[in-house]
Structure 1
Amino acid sequence: MSESPANTVPATPKAQAPPNPKHTFRTALEDPVLRTLASATLVATVGRGIFLTLTVLYFTSFVGLGAAEIAVILSVSSGVGVATSYIGGRLADRFSARRLLAGLAAVEGLAIMAYPFAGNFSAALLIACIAVGVNRAANSTRSAIIARAFDGPYRVNTRAVLRTITNVGIAAGGMVAGLALLAGTAEAYRGLMIGAGAIYVLSALRLLSLPSRVDAPRRDAGNTGPNQGISPFRDGRYVLLTVLAGVFGMQFGLAEMGVPLWIAQDTTAPDVLISVVLVINTACVILLQVPFSRGTDHPRRAGKIVMRSGVLMAVACALYAMAGGMPVIAAIALLCGAALLHAFAEILSQAGTWGLSFELADPRRAGAYQGMFGMGFSLGAMLAPLVVTATVVEHGSIGWCILGAIFLASAAGIALIARKASTTAGSA
């Protein structure tokens, strides 16, 4: 691990050093790699915002799929994403990562364009598996590109900038999707969903302009020596980090499923508060993800930040639980407070785990390591609906306490890994 900005890892002597992450958001975008990734991400996430807003409603309202069938589609496609997360990282170590990322984005766009033509459960399931599978592979490939193109604080800063842009793009796409919601016709839904896929394809064209330095160094096919690095599956510390980060990552599923159901079914707060909670989260990420991510390239600091996020998440769960059965005003206040703490916990946990995922990885196999780390979040996303149902949905306040304890324990485990890594590095 290096603390010096001068030690950025370019593949060629002419590679430009990234800007200081303490500078402004605009300054960060002066780096050509980040600028390309950012512009492609903004375009793609506008399409994703349209897609996420309309897809489930389209299949339930116009195709006639039931809630159980939608749940199966989401679970099975998420399971495919667990495998493709690692596959995408491995491929990024063997082939041109920029071309691979562009190809995956194009395939995802075509899959999204195909959704309106799925007239039954089987077709929808097949398309969903393709779309989610290539999306998870693309995420791992993008992380491998970041790991190679940047070093130290610049890696986490890049992830933070891209996540901020992602939230802006999805919010914009959601507003565009409102046109179809207002029209309320199948034709409007289909037209915007096809447009969302076409936007993805445009983002793929932008990715082709990434410089060749983001690709993995050429390797001798006959060389299987130590210079090739070790498999992440043989790195026990990294496997444990991946698992614990995936467990904490279930907080995304909690926000998407558990909190809306809790507000609608178990509190006196009006249903419109579900949208307010979403706005709170989106605004916090856009405003705070970049500044809150600074310094997490140091494992000890990253571990402390994740521990703080675990405490915040546990308190947020307690506030969510307390809102049940309270009068309207008290319930609204508790839920808004919980949503704010939840957003802070999400931002800090992402920053800390990003830093550790880069700093504790073997740089010789950046793609494989980032692919494995992506598997953890994909697995967490797949299991989150089951865990949230088994806790919050079925057991109410007690379930919230169980979830809070799970988040706190996983954060403590990550913090312990980070502290031991810092001690080992300091004595080396």
Structure 2
Amino acid sequence: MDPVLRILVLATLISRVGRGVFLTVTVLYLTFVIGLSVSETAVILGISSAVGVLTSYVGGHLADRISARRLLFVLLAAEGFALACYAFAADFTSVLIIACTASAVGSASNATRMAIIARAFEGPARVSARAVLRTVTNISIALGASFAGVALLADSAQAYRIVMLGAAIVYFLGVIPVWKLPQRVNAPVRVAATGTSPSTDHHPAAAPVQAPSPFKDRRYLLLTALCAVFGMQFSLAEVGVPLWIAQNTAAPTALVSVLLILNTLIVVIFQIPLARGTGDVQKSGKVITLAGMLMAIAAITYALAGGVPVVPAVLLLVTAATAHAFAEVWSQAGSWGLSFELVNDLNPGAYQGVFAMGAGLGAMCAPFVVASTALKFGFLGWVALALIFLCSALAIGVIAKQEVRRMSSALQAVPPA
């Protein structure tokens, strides 16, 4: 295994166990231990998410300017410290500050990690690395969620705090391997005008080559927006489907957990093999188009589960969740390929930061879109969601085809040697 990928896998495997604990117990801790109301918790989550959207670009931009290795180490350590502070929070203000800090450095670290992958690997290897890390992340978060059961079983404030501190320590342990990343993950060093050799971890004082701003790249911005729209399928699984099952179907509410486990298993088993080849722009476009079709089928099938007896409802929901999970796997692989291949090589970090910003904005808007379509209008709302997913995927496929034509024209324009 490549040294960079090996280090990132080790760091992810350890740290995401701690993150899984926090994802499982944080909301319960805020409401039942600290005593925040549901509305206060929602405000905190909303504001902190907005902060994370803003810092995504900052992390990617800085990864093009200073040592990405050191930057990632510092950001991950800061996130671990912020998570540890949850155990000592006492009121709305302290929780808001902690949540905003954790979200800010967490989003920046994610963008930095993507910049490192963009720089350390080429072509298909980039998508393969993302697929491996996503699989490891799912496994680790599942393990963390299992460990969080200790606090849930004990159901005491002290147990919650001990488990959260333990999770923060585990997170810190996952930060240590990052320091061993090789120098090649940093932006290329430019020699100063004096001819002196700069430090391997810092850029010299000479003015860098001017890189184009991703905010002026309309094609990349359109890709980012469309991927953000399709990315609403995550919120559909986390918010829309559970509420639809509980309020509009005869299926038992416990099926929600079964469907989440099914999703995790499919991602863990199939993400790596189904991501192969999506470093190619043409294949990326094709698999995202396929994902759009599957998501449209899933949305309609979810809708059909409403108003039918228990057994057919369960069968329809399991079928929809299976199609949904494979759509997630293919859409992620395809979007990774395009988000890497359409960047400018002078500043891949800034481009990845913009892409992460789009994903964050999509995640913020998704609950409102799901609530105002499927949960409000039932079958017609699900049809609307199906069209949204299908149209966004088809539009991404068009961008991929245009890029393939552009690459073909560029090759034809190169004179033979």
Please say whether Structure 1 and Structure 2 have the same fold, judged by a TM-score greater than 0.5: yes
Q: Which residue in 2 is equivalent to 1:23?
A: none
Structure 2 counterpart of 1:201, from 161, 172, 190: 172
Structure 2 counterpart of 1:133, from 104, 107, 110: 104
Unaligned runs of 5+ residues in structure 2 are 191-203, 411-417
The Cα of 1:222 is off from its aligned counterpart by: 4.7
Q: Which residue in 2 is equivalent to 1:223?
A: 207
Q: Which residue in 2 is equivalent to 1:358?
A: 340
Is it true that 1:114 corresponds to 2:85 in the alignment?
Answer: yes
Q: Which residue in 1 is equivalent to 2:52?
A: 81
Is it true that 1:399 corresponds to 2:381 in the alignment?
Answer: yes
Q: Which residue in 1 is equivalent to 2:198?
A: none
Is it true that 1:312 corresponds to 2:283 in the alignment?
Answer: no
Q: Which residue in 2 is equivalent to 1:369?
A: 351
Structure 2 counterpart of 1:142, from 113, 130, 134: 113
Aligned residues: 397
Matches within 5 A, 1:176-191: 176-191=147-162
Deviates more, 1:377-386 or 1:152-161: 377-386
Structure 2 counterpart of 1:277, from 259, 264, 287: 259
User: Structure 1, residues 44-63: CA drift from partner, whole Å, max 9, x if none?
Assistant: 11001100000001111111
Distance 2:97 2:365 in 1: 20
Tell me the secondary structure at the aligned position of residue 225 of structure 2: helix
Structure 2 counterpart of 1:251, from 230, 233, 247: 233
Distance 1:194 1:397 in 2: 45
Matched residue type, 2:60 = G
- CA contact under 8 A between 1:228 and 1:365: conserved in structure 2? no
- CA contact under 8 A between 1:253 and 1:385: conserved in structure 2? yes
Q: Which residue in 1 is equivalent to 2:307?
A: 325
- CA contact under 8 A between 1:108 and 1:197: conserved in structure 2? no
The Cα of 1:221 is off from its aligned counterpart by: 4.7
Question: For the aligned residues, what is the CA RMSD?
Answer: 1.1
Distance 2:65 2:148 in 1: 38
Distance change in 2, residues 1:231/1:221 (3 Å):
farther
Runs (4+) of structure 1 exceeding 2 A deviation are: 218-224
Distance 1:125 1:337 in 2: 39
Is it true that 1:286 corresponds to 2:257 in the alignment?
Answer: no
Q: Which residue in 2 is equivalent to 1:381?
A: 363
The Cα of 1:413 is off from its aligned counterpart by: 1.1
Tell me the secondary structure at the aligned position of residue 271 of structure 1: coil
The Cα of 1:218 is off from its aligned counterpart by: 2.2
User: Structure 1, residues 369-407: CA drift from partner, whole Å, max 9, x if none?
Assistant: 111111111111111111112112222222211111111
Is it true that 1:171 corresponds to 2:142 in the alignment?
Answer: yes
Q: Which residue in 2 is equivalent to 1:54?
A: 25
- CA contact under 8 A between 1:110 and 1:198: conserved in structure 2? no
Tell me the secondary structure at the aligned position of residue 298 of structure 2: helix
Matched residue type, 1:66 = S
The Cα of 1:223 is off from its aligned counterpart by: 3.2
TM-score for the superposition, normalised by structure 1: 0.91
